């Protein structure tokens, strides 16, 4: 892990946005394009207050999954190494993305998973999550 700041693209968050509905995601129309599987929010207030999370090695941040967040460009010659983990309680349940603004992303994730893992049985994101998620502690319930 590394020290992160605005020079190497630290995480930035828009406080309070976790109270809003899920925003549509798709590839941003940036000059030069973006990396495969980088889906950005398509509709948000760009004037909303932004907080840059400058962090030292070993620092930890927890936030709600609906909180608008992202990282800037690494403008240094060094690396920005971080670990990202997702926590879900036993009360967590899968939300079907069919017919939602996220359906296009689900299709791309499933297609990429098939190519990478060679898992022809993966038909939707829930199948992929169930076959690749790893229980760390507790009892598997809803997935």
Domain that holds residue 123: 88-136
Q: Is 122 exposed, middle or buried (0-12, 13-18, 19+ CB in 10 A)?
A: buried
Residue 101 lies in a domain: yes
* Domain end call among 85, 107, 126: 85
Indicate if 9 and 41 belong to the same structural domain.
yes
Instruction: Using DSSP, state whether 103 is helix, strand or coil.
Output: helix
| Tally of domains in the chain | 2
Sign of CA dihedral 54, 18, 38, 114: positive
- Whether residue 98 sits in one domain with residue 44: no
Number of helices and strands in the chain (H, E): 2, 5
Choose the final residue of a domain: 68, 85, 102.
85
Q: What is the pLDDT along the chain (143 residues), one digit of tens a residue?
A: 789 999 998 999 999 999 998 888 887 777 776 777 777 888 888 899 999 999 999 899 999 988 999 887 888 998 888 887 777 777 777 777 888 878 888 888 888 888 877 766 667 777 777 777 777 777 766 65
Residues 77 and 100 grouped into a single domain:
no
What pLDDT is recorded for position 121?
65
Alpha-carbon distance 107 to 134, whole Å?
Answer: 22
CA–CA gap between residue 110 and residue 37 (Å, rounded): 11
pTM of the model: 0.71
Cα 74 to Cα 14: distance, rounded to the nearest angstrom: 20
CA dihedral 12, 17, 19, 22 (to 10 degrees): -100
């Amino acid at each position: 892990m590394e020290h992160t700041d605005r020079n190497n693209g630290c995480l930035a968050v828009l406080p309070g946005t976790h109270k809003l509905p899920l925003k549509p995601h798709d590839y941003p129309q940036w000059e030069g394009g973006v990396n495969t599987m980088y889906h950005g929010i398509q509709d948000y207030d760009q004037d909303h207050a932004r907080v840059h999370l400058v962090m030292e090695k070993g620092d930890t941040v927890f936030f709600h999954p609906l909180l608008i967040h992202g990282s800037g460009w690494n403008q240094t010659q060094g690396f920005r190494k971080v670990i990202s983990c997702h926590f879900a309680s036993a009360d967590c349940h899968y939300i079907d993305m069919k017919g939602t603004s996220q359906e296009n992303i689900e299709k791309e994730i499933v297609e990429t998973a098939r190519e990478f893992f060679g898992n022809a049985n993966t038909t939707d994101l829930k199948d992929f999550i169930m076959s690749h998620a790893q229980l760390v502690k507790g009892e598997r319930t809803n997935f």
